[in-house]
Amino acid sequence: MKVTPDVIRDLIPLVKDGVASSDSARLVEDYMRHDPEMREEYDHYGDVPLERDDSRDQRMVAGIKRGVVMTQLFILLVGATIGIAMTGSFGMFYNLVIMPFVGALAVFSMKRAWSLATPLIVFAGAYLYQFMNSVFSGGWNPIVWGTSLPYSGIYAFLTAIGVVIGLLLQFAFQKGDD
């Protein structure tokens, strides 16, 4: 097998850092005996900083952030849906935990204006869910529509508490970075 200069260039950092195997180090030394340019490259390795492609790194970080935000939004939507769907069941008391979590997650995953609007969105979603549920289960019953308002208000209030908690956490972590 013929050893090319590219293979030696790949091995030079490992040999210089002392992590190459003894066979790789011997291969580099043998090659440099016959190639003075590679010896010079070996001797000057680390003197010149390596070029970096920051645009590629920035695109990669932006892609990761986008994936994290999409995951957070999905969890936010699922949490709000589960919380609203528990209306009128024995599990509705879990909303004391779910809805504040939804509010706090909204602060960390969305822009500030949208996170502040989250309680209103939850209110509208809860009321719409209960309205549609009453229509499909028993027809047009105005009493059910009136009783849906307190549940929707409670969910919006719990979500607002979560938003406040999220904003306070965000404020506390920003103060610690200074």
Residue pLDDT, tens place only, 68-105:
878 877 887 887 777 777 766 666 777 788 888 888 88
Pair of tokens at residue 94: 């879990």
User: Residues 39, 74: one domain?
Assistant: no
Identify whether 148 is part of a domain.
yes
As a whole number of angstroms, the distance between CA 146 and CA 144 comes to 5
Is there a single domain that holds both residue 39 and residue 63? no
Collect the ranges in the chain with pLDDT lower than 50. 50, 178
- Is 10 inside any structural domain? yes
pLDDT at position 161 is: 93
Examine the domain organization and report whether 10 and 91 are in the same domain.
no
Q: Looking at the 3D structure of the chain, how many domains does it have?
A: 2
- pLDDT at residue 50, as a whole number: 47
Query: Rg of the Cα trace of the chain?
Result: 30
* Length of the chain, in residues: 178
Residue 48 lies in a domain: no
Q: What's the rounded Cα separation, in Å, for the pair 63 and 73?
A: 15
Instruction: Indicate the helix (H) or strand (E) that contains 108.
Output: helix 95-109
Which pLDDT value is given to residue 141? 65
In this prediction the pTM is 0.54
Q: Is residue 19 part of a domain?
A: yes
